[in-house]
């Protein structure tokens, strides 16, 4: 299931598997997996001010592997490419867009592992344009 993901080859897929581990009960949710990977943002809100930051405490080998997967997925997956391009069009920087794409790919991986299915482009990126336009509004 790992190598069916866009951007994960046999070597990079093995690296991601090694860092996440093979215990199926370790991550109760996609959010837990994303937090461990270090791809999910930290949101701090106080009164009228809201700040979204990248996590600084993370597994360096895993965040590097997910970043490489995101960079490669841009070329391998039309849905990942559209997601990245729409983030960039909204003014998000390259590294932040890759981190957000990596966060999305970790969630897709968790879903595939949970349902014991291989990656499907249509399932991973349904109605992508509508969702991003709604989020920007």
Q: What is the pLDDT of residue 131?
A: 58
Domain of residue 55: give its range: 10-136
State residue 133's pLDDT score.
60
In a domain, 49, yes or no: yes
What pLDDT digit, counting tens, does each position of 77-136 carry? Answer: 999 999 999 999 999 999 999 999 999 999 999 999 999 999 999 999 987 655 556 666
**Is 86 a domain residue?**
yes
| Segment 6-57, tens digit of pLDDT | 999 999 999 999 999 988 889 999 999 998 888 888 888 888 898 887 777 7
Model pLDDT, residue 77: 94
Number of domains in the chain: 1
Q: What is the CA radius of gyration of the chain?
A: 15
Does residue 3 form part of some domain? no
**H or E stretch at 51:** strand 49-53
- The answer as to whether 100 is a domain residue is yes
Give bridge partners of residue 50 from the DSSP assignment. Answer: 45
**Residue 55 lies inside a defined structural domain of this protein:** yes
- Domain contains 102: yes
């Amino acid at each position: 299931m790992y190598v069916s993901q866009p951007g994960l080859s046999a070597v990079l897929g093995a690296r991601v598997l090694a860092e996440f581990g093979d215990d199926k009960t370790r991550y109760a949710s996609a959010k837990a997996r994303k937090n461990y990977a270090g791809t999910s943002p930290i949101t701090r809100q106080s009164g009228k001010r809201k700040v979204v930051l990248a996590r600084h405490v993370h597994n360096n080998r895993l965040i590097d592997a997910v970043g490489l997967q995101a960079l490669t997925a841009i070329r391998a997956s039309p849905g990942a490419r559209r997601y990245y391009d729409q983030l960039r069009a909204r003014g998000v920087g390259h590294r932040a867009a890759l981190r957000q794409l990596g966060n999305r790919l970790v969630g897709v991986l968790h879903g595939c592992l949970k349902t014991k299915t291989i990656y499907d482009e249509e399932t991973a990126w349904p109605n992508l344009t509508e969702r991003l336009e709604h989020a920007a509004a």
